[in-house]
């Protein structure tokens, strides 16, 4: 009897030990499991349709890639690292009496189910009223740790109006991925925006101080922290040094792709206007907390079939745009020029130095008057594309460069005023008042017109963009100044009637 009880005891002990061991094996296998998720990164996207005569970009093509990745792994996010509401040609036109101001972008991005975006400096090109409309219309999250709404000196978070409730935007964003075995992986996103666009309604906090604060606040709540920033690459590098445990900073602001490493931190930026996107594939080890990242720079081109749903929305907006363009030029898609050297129309250069795009525009202004002017001047702020044009260029591209149009005026002014205007434009470097020029240059301390020193009492004939004669950028330059001797406005049938038409006709003549 005792032997039977002893054998039964041994059997039960062995069974218990076996169960315990088996449970431990299962537990270890779970803790050793690696969990995967994807992030699709875009940045600096101003156009919903393909660019460069349809060769590159197009958000309908991006959506095709998005859906393919969702089929591969449902844990896939779509993010944008700032700059999408402005500048764009579509944003400048009026529909039902109101300028579009990025409405087309939000409509398309909502349909694509974007997850989260960072504020970029160009979002603040809009008035506060227009920006608030776009935020309210959006179905995605917005983040930034260093931008606040400034109202009469009182600072508060921007908000989204949801069914009458004002929901404050946040410093950061948390996405919880849930896997088939029940495991949850929380990924946090932190963001900052470059303070390069001062507006009365915006307060910019210190980029580095605020992103570190956001990191310290979110780190205890998540498994992984990622950056979604809109600053210069030099600032991203400093952030990487400041926060060395972030595996990836997805950045914007620069318009050409970059992929580099600072310590263990990867910094990635795609090309503007969705010429390329980054696909980031993550593998997270639940036991070691280690993150393995594999990134793919994917070109968005004609080989990718457009998603039908998104393409329908894009076509709707393009039809509106083409109707407006045809009021000025008959064939918007006609190839007018092939640029073997990129024409630089990026914001910083055109507001700081003479660029080849500025030279093309001002030469075209002179061309519009059969080169019977002494010089031509346009404010850099009129050039709004913030990009470079290369390869085949069509009429739509020129409208994108100069979305506001306006006439080229033939103006007679005294040499003393012309010298003062040129000096003001030079001193305004870094702002929209900087002047792009043709036949006007500074040698040493002297301004020359057609290689001759300006004579203060002489009358000069200057081709001006009509905006400049309104006194907004250069306060003393208007029809009220007695040294503005004569202003000749072109008629509707003249090339000079629209600066964009002048540029198109000039490029076609080359």
For residue 20, the model assigns a pLDDT of: 36
Residue 21 CB burial class (10 angstroms; 0-12, 13-18, ≥19): exposed
Q: What is the pLDDT of residue 53?
A: 79
Separation between Cα atoms, residue 115 and residue 66, nearest integer Å: 12
ω into 87 cis (within 30 of 0)? yes
pLDDT at site 327: 85
> Residue 4: pLDDT above 80?
no
Mean pLDDT for 170-182 is 96
Match 């457009």 to its residue by tokens: 306
Burial string for 347-381 (b: 16+ CB within 10 Å, else e) reads bebbbeebbbbbbbbbbbbbbbbeeebbbbbbbbb
Give this prediction's pTM: 0.82
Give dist(CA 401, CA 387) in Å, integer.
Answer: 9
Which CATH number is 32-308 given?
Answer: 3.60.21.10
Between 132 and 31, the more confident residue is 132
pLDDT of residue 223: 98
Q: Alpha-carbon distance 78 to 66, whole Å?
A: 7
- Using the predicted structure, report yes or no on whether residue 3 has a pLDDT greater than 80: no
State yes or no: pLDDT of 497 exceeds 50.
yes
Tell me which residue of 312, 333, 336, 311 sits closest to 322, measured CA to CA: 333
* Both structure tokens of 82: 């700032």
- The pLDDT, as a whole number, for residue 235 is 98
Instruction: Count the Cβ atoms, other than its own, within 10 Å of residue 69.
Output: 19
- Please provide the CATH number assigned to the domain covering 330-509: 3.90.780.10
Is 144 in contact with 192 (CB distance < 8 Å)? yes
The model's confidence at residue 62, banded by pLDDT at 50, 70 and 90, is very high
Distance (Å, rounded) from C-alpha 294 to C-alpha 271?
18
Least confident interval from 94-103, 235-244, 267-276? 94-103
Task: Output the pLDDT for position 273.
Answer: 94
> For 418-447, what is each residue's pLDDT tens digit?
999 999 999 999 989 999 999 999 999 999
Residues 6+ away with beta carbon under 8 Å from 364: 499, 502, 503, 505, 506, 507
Inform me whether the pLDDT recorded for 26 exceeds 60: no
User: Is residue 387 very low, low, confident or very high in pLDDT (cuts 50, 70, 90)?
Assistant: confident
Give the model's confidence band at 32: pLDDT under 50 very low, under 70 low, under 90 confident, else very high: low
- Average pLDDT, stretch 471-486? 95
pLDDT per residue over 98-120, tens digit each? 999 999 999 999 999 999 999 99
Among 75-79, 138-142, 144-148, 387-391, the minimum mean pLDDT is found in 387-391
**Beta-ladder partners of 173:** 189
9 vs 110, which has greater pLDDT?
Answer: 110
| Residue 165 pLDDT class (50, 70, 90 cuts) | very high
- In this prediction, residue 28 carries a pLDDT of 37
pLDDT of residue 386: 81
Is 216 or 385 the better-scoring residue by pLDDT?
Answer: 216
Lowest-confidence region among 30-39, 213-222, 234-243: 30-39
Residue 194 or 4, more confident? 194
21: pLDDT confidence band, cut at 50, 70 and 90?
A: very low
- What pLDDT score was predicted for residue 17? 42
Q: Which pair of structure tokens corresponds to residue 97? A: 């009496």
Residue in 174, 208, 173 with CA at minimum distance from that of residue 194: 208
- Extents of the domains making up the chain: 32-308, 330-509
Average pLDDT across the chain, whole number: 92
CA dist., res. 121 & res. 196, Å (int): 6
Confidence check: pLDDT of 201 > 50: yes
Q: Evaluate if residue 5 carries a pLDDT over 80.
A: no
């Amino acid at each position: 009897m005792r032997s039977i009880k002893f054998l039964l005891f041994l059997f039960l002990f062995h069974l218990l030990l076996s169960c315990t061991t088996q449970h431990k094996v299962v537990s270890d296998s779970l803790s050793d499991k690696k969990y995967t998720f994807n992030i699709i990164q875009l940045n600096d996207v101003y156009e919903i349709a393909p660019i460069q005569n349809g060769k590159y970009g197009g958000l309908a093509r991006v959506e095709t890639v998005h859906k393919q990745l969702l089929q591969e792994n449902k844990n896939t996010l779509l993010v944008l690292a700032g700059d999408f509401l402005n500048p764009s040609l579509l944003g400048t036109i009026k529909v039902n009496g109101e300028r579009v101001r990025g409405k087309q972008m939000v409509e398309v991005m909502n349909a694509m189910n974007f997850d989260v975006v960072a504020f970029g400096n160009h979002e603040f090109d809009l008035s506060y009223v227009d920006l608030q409309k776009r935020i309210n219309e959006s179905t995605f999250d917005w983040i930034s740790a260093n931008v606040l709404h400034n109202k009469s000196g009182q600072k508060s978070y921007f908000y989204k109006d949801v069914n009458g409730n004002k929901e404050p935007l946040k410093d950061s964003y948390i996405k919880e991925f849930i896997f088939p075995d029940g495991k949850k992986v929380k990924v946090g996103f932190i963001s900052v925006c470059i303070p390069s666009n001062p507006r009365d309604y915006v307060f910019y906090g210190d980029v580095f101080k605020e992103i570190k604060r956001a990191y310290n606040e979110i780190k205890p709540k998540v498994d992984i922290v990622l950056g979604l920033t809109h600053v210069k690459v030099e600032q991203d590098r400093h952030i990487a040094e400041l926060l060395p445990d972030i595996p990836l900073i997805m950045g914007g602001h620069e318009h050409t792709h970059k992929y580099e490493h600072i310590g263990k931190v990867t910094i990635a930026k795609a090309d503007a206007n969705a010429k390329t996107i980054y696909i980031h594939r993550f593998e997270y080890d639940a036991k070691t907390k280690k993150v393995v990242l594999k990134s793919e720079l994917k070109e968005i081109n004609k080989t990718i079939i457009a998603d039908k749903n998104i393409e329908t929305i894009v076509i709707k907006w393009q039809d509106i745009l083409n109707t407006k363009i045809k009021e000025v030029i008959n064939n918007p898609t006609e190839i007018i020029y092939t640029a073997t050297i990129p024409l630089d129309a990026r914001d910083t250069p055109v507001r700081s130095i003479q660029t080849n795009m500025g030279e093309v525009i001002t030469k075209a202004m002179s061309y519009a008057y059969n080169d019977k002017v002494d010089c031509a001047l346009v404010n850099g702020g009129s050039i709004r594309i913030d990009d470079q044009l290369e390869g085949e260029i069509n009429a739509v591209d020129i409208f994108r460069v100069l979305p506001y149009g306006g006439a080229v005026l033939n103006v007679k002014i005294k040499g003393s005023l012309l010298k003062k205007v040129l000096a003001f434009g030079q001193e305004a470097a870094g702002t929209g008042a900087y002047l792009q020029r043709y036949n006007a240059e500074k040698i040493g301390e002297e301004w020359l017109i057609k290689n001759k020193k300006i004579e203060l009492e002489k009358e000069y004939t200057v081709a001006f963009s009509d905006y400049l004669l309104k006194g907004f950028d250069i306060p003393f330059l208007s029809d009220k100044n007695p040294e503005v001797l004569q202003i000749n406005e072109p008629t509707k049938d003249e090339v000079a009637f629209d600066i964009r038409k002048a540029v198109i006709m000039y490029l076609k003549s080359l």
